[in-house]
Structure 1
């Protein structure tokens, strides 16, 4: 039996990285997808690989309430309902200490990483109340343990953790579950390219492997499998959970040497 048969998933940031892996897994599990992205090129690429399923793409920026409202309305017009909102879209730049972070950089991170959740919930909660659906947020392990030279980014992910728990309490009376996944390092095309640009790519790869107790940095599919569990009825009594999908990295995040740069999940 397909875990998401006849379900409609509203997925932000679903055309690349972890979000794209989620889109593929959700589609194989029987879901109809409404994928939101602000990148026309990545939408075109994703269309080619997700052509077999029932998938709708919407060009929209999650930091814009107006654009998210349009995306939610479009999804409802096409599919008639929304069963899951997966807030995956996010940004990570800049890699700076707090005093080096500009006002513009600070606000942009919060507008996307936290504001996106606000916008999809504000405009989509009525649909979830009707369907008895659930919400999944893509967080990060660094929202719990912190990370050097990523103050603003980790602040947004810490906010996602707290927001997830508060939302779980607020929407439990409606039968709506709210959870989050918290990856550590995740190999995506963007992170591969970034690593190859470093002075010592071999050391970069070793670092990414070594921060995980299981000894390797995973592909995005391992995160997608955990996400599938959380949005499916298999997790029907799970809410307010911040699920580490981190290979044990939270048991002791190793520090980089001063000659290396700093990594985050991408």
Structure 2
């Protein structure tokens, strides 16, 4: 069964990582997909791997209102409608405390992760009212539980969570559902870049496996499966939901960071520095 047959999806950050996995599964489910990215190289690489008449590529920066307005109009001109806006574009850098973050770094993270949603909604809402469509935001578990050395990023993802709920209330009268997915660790190009920025690079892969009680840090396809469900008619009575796609990591963060190691019948605390 094609859950998205004849639907049109406007997908930001769609040429790599979770977005790319979503693009593939949406297309397989019958959707026409407009893929938005600000990276020319990523767009061209994705086009070589994933070229089809039902896939439309647009170079645009979600933090730029003119770019987003143009991309929405181009999508409607190309496909005739929009049924889904999936706000997946995001940045995670810098890995810093509040005091270590510059004004420029702070603004960049918020302009992409939060204001990008503002832009796509502002320019795409009329199309969604016509189609009684849906909005999906890619959040993060750290928007609920916080994370060391990621003040700006976690603040944006907390904002995404509450924004999702407010939008769900605002647009429910128009039959528009608004939800979010909240992954923990997912192996994407962005996560690999993040890993190399951490103080203890040698331990980061083991750390990312261990924070998930199911035992491993997944690839983006597990998130894409959840996204497909939320934008399909299978989730027709779900709105305002922040769905963890985390392998139980909201439990594992606490268990792993505070766990104890027993050696020779003496319980010793784990050195947190080795696990951060």
Aligned residues, how many?
261
TM-score normalised by structure 1 residue count: 0.94
Residue 89 of structure 1 corresponds to which residue in structure 2?
A: 89
Q: Which residue of 2 aligns with 1:184?
A: 184
Q: Does 1:250 align with 2:250?
A: yes
SS at match of 1:69: helix
Structure 2: unaligned runs, 5 residues or longer? 258-270
Structure 1 stretches lacking a partner, 5+ long? 262-266
Kindly provide the CA deviation profile for residues 196-234 of structure 1, in whole angstroms up to 9, marking residues without a partner as x: 787976632211100001110000000000000000000
> 2:226 is matched with which residue?
226
After superposition, residues 129-148 of structure 1 pair within 5 angstroms as 129-148=129-148
3-state secondary structure, aligned to 2:273 = coil
Matches within 5 A, 1:69-218: 69-192=69-192, 195=195, 203-218=203-218
- 1:65 aligned onto 2:65: yes
Aligned-CA RMSD value: 1.7
Deviations 1:165-188 (A, max 9, x none): 000000000000000000000012
Given the alignment of the two structures, is residue 14 of structure 1 paired with residue 29 of structure 2, yes or no? no
CA distance, structure 2, for counterparts of residue 242 and residue 190 of structure 1: 22
* TM-score scaled by length of structure 2: 0.90
Alignment partners' CA distance in 1, 2:67 and 2:204 = 38
Q: 3-state SS of the aligned residue for 2:272?
A: coil
Query: Is this contact kept in 1: 2:207–2:275, CA < 8 A?
Result: no
Q: Structure 1's 202 and 104: CA in aligned 2 closer, same or farther, altered over 3 A?
A: closer
- The answer for the alignment partner of 1:54 in structure 2 is 54
Partner Cα distance (1:197, 1:87) in 2: 25
Residue in structure 2 matched with residue 264 of structure 1 by the alignment: none
